[in-house]
C-alpha cells in the first residue's frame, strides 16, 4: 500500500514552528519599534479650551514660565488658574470670545479644563523641582515652547530619553539663571564640556540610573 504522505511531510511541523517563530519575532520587533513614545506621543498637540499662544506670550512678550506655572520650582507643573489669566485680561481683550472659558472659570470658580500635553505614566516618579533647581532647562524636555502657537510634544519622554540624560548630564546642564530661558545655551555649549563636568562635580549631581530611582 503506497504511503499516504511523502517523507518530505515529516519536516512540515518543524517548518511550521520556524515560520511561526519568525512571524512572532517580526511582529514583536515592529510593535516594539513603532509603538514607542517616539511614534505614539511626539507630535501630540491637543485642542485646548483656550487658544493660548506661547509664541505670543513667552516668545514675543517675554512672560516667564513661572508666572503661569508658578509651582514648577517648588512642587510640580501646575497649570494656570483663571485668576492668573485675569491678572492681565481683566484689562486686555476683556470681551474676546476666545477668552470666554477664562471669564466663566473666574466667575464660577470651576477650573479651566486644560488638556495636559506631557503626561508621565502613573508608574513613573518625576519631580520637576529637583530637575529645574539643579540646572535642567525646560527646553530639554519640552522643546522651544516659546516658538509654539499650539503646544506640541517634541520629545518622547520615554525611559530611554530619560536615561540618556541621566547617563550624560553634563551635556544638558544650564546655569540656574538660564533654566527658564528657552533660548539659552547649555554650559557645555557656552563654556565647554570640561566646565560642565566641573559644574556636575561641584553640585554633586548624580542622577539615578537604577530602576528604583524612577519607579517607586
pLDDT score of 108 more than 80: yes
The C-alpha angle with vertex 42 and arms to 150 and 47, in degrees rounded to 5, equals: 30
The confidence score (pLDDT) of residue 64 equals 94
First to last CA, the chain: 70
Phi, psi angles (nearest 5°) of residue 199: -60, -45
**What tens digit of pLDDT does each residue of 125-145 get?**
999 999 999 999 999 999 999
Query: Confidence class of residue 2 from pLDDT cuts 50, 70 and 90?
Result: low
The confidence score (pLDDT) of residue 41 equals 87
Torsion angle of the four alpha carbons 20, 25, 27, 29, in this order, in degrees rounded to the nearest 10: 180
Closest by CA to 153, choosing from 104, 110, 201, 119, is: 119
Q: Which three cell numbers stand for residue 65?
A: 514660565
Say which residues have a Cβ less than 8 Å from residue 150's Cβ, sequence separation at least 6: 45, 48, 53
Strand partners, 173: 136
* Sequence-ordered alpha helix ranges (H) in the chain: 12-34, 37-40, 54, 65-68, 82-89, 100-108, 128-132, 138-142, 159-167, 187-191, 193-202, 211-214
Contact predicate 99/82, CB 8 Å: no
Say which residues have a Cβ less than 8 Å from residue 163's Cβ, sequence separation at least 6: 209
**What tens digit of pLDDT does each residue of 148-200 get?**
999 999 999 999 999 999 999 999 999 999 999 999 999 999 999 999 999 99
pLDDT score of 208 more than 90: yes
pLDDT score of 9 more than 90: no
pLDDT score of 12 more than 80: no
pTM of the predicted structure, to 2 decimals: 0.79
The confidence score (pLDDT) of residue 38 equals 63
**What tens digit of pLDDT does each residue of 23-78 get?**
788 777 666 655 566 667 899 999 999 999 999 999 999 999 999 999 998 877 78
Amino acid at each position: 500500500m503506497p504511503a499516504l504522505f511523502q517523507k518530505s511531510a515529516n519536516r512540515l511541523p518543524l517548518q511550521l514552528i520556524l515560520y511561526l517563530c519568525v512571524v512572532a519575532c517580526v511582529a514583536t520587533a515592529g510593535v516594539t519599534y513603532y509603538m514607542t513614545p517616539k511614534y505614539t506621543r511626539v507630535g501630540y498637540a491637543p485642542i485646548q479650551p483656550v487658544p493660548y499662544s506661547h509664541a505670543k506670550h513667552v516668545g514675543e512678550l517675554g512672560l516667564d514660565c513661572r508666572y503661569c506655572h508658578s509651582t514648577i520650582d517648588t512642587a510640580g507643573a501646575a497649570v494656570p488658574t483663571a485668576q492668573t489669566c485675569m491678572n492681565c485680561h481683566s484689562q486686555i481683550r476683556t470681551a474676546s470670545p476666545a477668552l470666554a472659558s477664562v471669564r466663566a472659570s473666574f466667575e464660577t470658580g470651576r477650573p479651566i479644563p486644560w488638556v495636559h500635553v506631557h503626561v508621565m505614566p502613573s508608574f513613573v516618579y518625576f519631580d520637576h523641582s529637583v530637575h529645574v533647581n539643579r540646572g535642567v532647562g525646560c527646553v530639554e524636555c519640552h522643546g522651544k515652547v516659546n516658538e509654539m502657537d499650539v503646544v506640541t510634544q517634541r520629545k518622547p519622554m520615554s525611559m530611554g530619553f530619560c536615561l540618556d540624560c541621566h547617563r550624560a548630564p553634563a551635556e544638558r546642564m544650564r546655569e540656574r539663571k538660564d533654566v527658564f530661558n528657552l533660548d539659552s545655551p547649555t554650559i557645555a555649549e557656552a563654556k565647554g564640556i570640561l566646565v560642565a563636568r566641573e559644574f556636575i562635580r561641584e553640585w554633586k549631581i548624580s542622577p539615578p540610573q537604577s530602576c528604583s530611582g524612577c519607579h517607586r
